[in-house]
Structure 1
Amino acid sequence: MRRLTALFTLSLLLFACGPQGIALPPAHVDTVRIATQNSHYIILNKEKGSWSVGNWQDRRTSVDLAFKALDADIIGFQEMESFARGNDGSTNLARDWLLDQNPDYAAGASGDWRSFPSTQPIFYRRDRFTLLDQGWFFFSDTPDVIYSRTYDGSFPAFASTVRLQDKDGTILNVVNVHFEYKSGSNRLKSAALVASRMAPLIAAGERVALIGDINALRGSQTAQILKDAGFSFLPTSGSTYHLNRGINLFGAIDHIALAGPLTPAAPAQVQRRKFDGRWPSDHYAVVADIQTR
C-alpha cells in the first residue's frame, strides 16, 4: 500500500511539473511584448542556502538567460530586492546584474531608495521607449508615504508605475503590482486602490497595462475589482508559481491585464523552463504580445 501511495504521489508530481524546455514563440510583428516576473529576493547576510548571496551567485546566469529568452520590450519585476536587517536599501544585486548584462535596457520605476522604492523596477528597451514619468504608491491607509505598512500592518507592499512613449508616439502606462499573499482583505483593498489610482487614465481613454503578482486567480474577487475598473485579464494557462521545483499545483497568480485601446495579439505565454540547469525564480515569467493601435 505504501508503495502504491508513493507511486501515486510521484505520478501527481510528474504531472504537476508539466512540459519543460519549450521556448517561447517569436514576438508578433508590430506589437509590444510585455512580461512580468517575480524574481525572488536575495538575503544579503546569508551566505549559503535558499535565496542567499551564494544562491544568487549560482542562479544569476539563469536569471540573465531567462531575461534574454523573454525578448520583452517591457518587463516588470517583483521582489527584486537584496536586503538584510539594518540594510539601507541601496543594494540591488539582481537589478544591477541584469542592467549590466543587458545594456540595451533601462530601468524605470527605480531611483534613490530614500525617495523611490526600487524593488519593483520596470525595464524597457532604450531604443524604443522614452521614459516620461515614473511613480509609486503603497497599499496602505497612507499610500503616498514611502514604505508604509499594509492595511493589516504586515510588510510594505506597493505598485510602481511608468509612463512610456513609443518611438511611433504612442503613450503606454504600466502599473506593476505585488499584492500581499497572506491576507485576502489586504488584496481586496490593494486592488481597490489600484482601481482608484488608474481610474483617471482609463476614463481618459489612455492605454494602461497592469502586470504583476496579485497572489490571486483570474476568477477571484481580487481580480474582479480590477475587471470592474476596466481591466481585461489575459487568459494564462496553468501555474505561474512552482515552489522553485517546477511543481505546478494551482492556477496563475501572476497576470497581465489591459485597459484602454490595447488588445492581445495572442494568449499570454508562461516561461516554464530551466536555464543553465536552474530555475531563475520560484515564479515563472508571464509574457504577452500587445497591439497598441
Structure 2
Amino acid sequence: MTSIASCKQVHGRVVILLAFVFSSIVLIGTATAQEPLRVLSFNLRYGLANDGDNSWDNRKDHVVTTIENYQPDVVGTQETLEFQAAHIGDKLTEFTYAGRSRQKDGKGEHCGIFFRTSRFDKLIEGHFWLSENPDQPGSKSWDSSLPRMATWLKLWDRTNQHAFYLINTHFDHRGANARAESAKLIRRFVESLPSGSNVIITGDFNAGVNSGPYTALFAEDATASPATPSPVVDTFAAMNPDAKDNVGTFNAFKGTDSGARIDWIAASRKIEILNASIDRTAFDGKFPSDHFPVTAELRLPKLE
C-alpha cells in the first residue's frame, strides 16, 4: 500500500515536472516570436536651404527628438546632407548610418538609412539611380530635373533571426514622367529580389494616392498574363482605408495637412501591418521639417 506521505512526494514531483515543461514551452514560444519592426520615413529638408527661422540649426535637435520619441528600428531619410546625417548619428549613437550622394562627385543629398546597431547586421549595401542607366552614379533620365536615386540594404535581424531588404528613395519634384518611370524601376527591383524576400520601402515620392507613380508601384500589373498583384502594399492605406482628408505629409513648416500624402512606407504582402500613421509632432508651434514623418509598425513572417 502506498502511504499518504509517498503520494504527496510523487504529487510534488509531478507538479514540479509540469511546471518545468510549461515554462520550457513558454520560453520556446518567446524565442520564436517575431518582434515588431518600427519603421520611420522622414524628409529632413535640405540642410542648406535659406529657411530663416526654420533653418537646420534651429530645428536639428527637434529632428533628433522626433526620431528618438518614436523609437524606430530603421529610419529612411530624404534630402539628407552629410552634416545632417552626422548630427543625427552623433546624438543617436545607437544607430548606424548608410548612404551616399546622388551626385557623381559625391556632393549632394543622400537617401540615407539609419538602423539600430544592436539589432541588425548589414549584409549588403547598394545604390541605384532612377534613370535609364541605374548603375551610373549621377545619371538622370526622362523629364527629371535632378539626379534621383535609391539606397538599399539587406539587413540581418538578430532578434528575429532573418533577413529583409530596406529600400529608401526620393522621386523628382518636377518630372511627372520621371516619377512614373521611377516607380516602375523600384517595382522591377523588388521583383528581381529572391523569391519570398521581405521588403520594406520608405520614401518621399512627390506624388499622391492614385497618381501615376502610386498606381505603378501598388496596382495590379494588367499587362502580365495572368495579371499579377504588386509585390508591396501601402501600409498607411492598409491600416487607414477610410482616411481621405487631412492626410497630407508636406506641411511647409506650417503644419498644413490638407495636401497630398506624398510620403509612403510600403511593405511586402506577407508582412503583417500592426500600425501606420503620420507623425505631426511640433515644438512650441515649430515643426522639425517641412514634411511630416510617416511611421509603420510591422511584423515580418516567421521563418518556416
TM-score (norm 2): 0.75
Task: Give, in angstroms, the shift of residue 139 of structure 1.
Answer: 1.1
- Residues 116 and 169 of structure 1: CA distance in aligned 2, closer, same or farther (over 3 Å): farther
Q: Check conservation: 2:145, 2:175, Cα contact below 8 A.
A: no
Range that drifts further, 239-248 or 97-106: 239-248
CA distance in 2, matches of 1:50, 1:118: 17
* Residue of 10, 30, 35 corresponding to 2:35: 30
| CA pair 116-282 structure 1, distance change in 2 beyond 3 A | closer
Match of 2:288 in 1: 280
Q: More relative contact order in 1 or in 2 (CA 8 Å, sep 6+)? A: 1
For residue 127 of structure 1, what is the amino acid of its counterpart?
A: S
**Aligned position for 1:226:** 217
Counterpart of 1:61 in 2: which secondary structure? helix
Matched, 1:250 2:259: yes
Task: State the SS of the aligned residue for 1:174.
Answer: strand
TM-aligned CA distance change 1:207 to 1:278, over 3 Å:
same
Measured after TM superposition, the shift of residue 51 of structure 1 is 6.6
CA apart distance, 1:31: 0.3
1:150 is displaced (CA, Å) by 3.6
Structure 1 segment 167-246 matched on structure 2, within 5 A: 167=158, 168-201=160-193, 204-227=195-218, 228=220, 229-235=230-236, 237=243, 238-246=247-255
Partner of 2:27: none
Q: Quote the Cα distance in structure 1 between the aligned partners of 2:122 and 2:209.
A: 30
Q: SS of the residue aligned with 1:120?
A: strand
- Paired-residue identity, %: 25
SS in 2 for 1:217: coil
Deviation at 1:290, TM superposition (A): 0.3
Counterpart residue identity of residue 256, structure 1? I
Q: In structure 2, how many angstroms separate the alpha carbons of the residues matched to 1:141 and 1:76?
A: 24
Within a 5 Å distance, the mapping from 1:72-83 to structure 2 comes to 72-81=72-81
Match status 1:106 vs 2:111:
no
CA RMSD of aligned residues (A): 2.3
TM-superposed deviation, 1:32 = 0.2
Equivalent in 113, 136, 156 of residue 165 of structure 1:
156
Structure 1 runs of 4+ with >6 Å offset: 115-118
Q: From the CA coordinates, give the structure whose radius of gyration is larger.
A: 2
Partner of 1:5: none
SS of the equivalent of 1:255 reads: strand
Q: Residue 23 of structure 1 aligns with which residue?
A: none
Q: 1:283 to 1:153 in 2, by over 3 A?
A: closer
Cα pair distance change 1:220/1:246, threshold 3 Å: same
Distance 1:33-1:116 versus aligned 2 partners, 3 A rule: farther
Structure 2 unmatched ranges of 5 or more = 1-33, 221-229, 238-242
Report the alpha carbon displacement of residue 262 of structure 1 after superposing the two structures with TM.
Answer: 1.1
Q: Bigger CA drift: 107-116 or 145-154?
A: 107-116
CA apart distance, 1:187: 0.8
Aligned residue pair count: 248
Give the Cα–Cα distance (whole angstroms) in 2 for the partners of residues 139 and 56 of structure 1. Answer: 27
**Equivalents in 2 of 1:124, 1:116: separation in Å?**
23
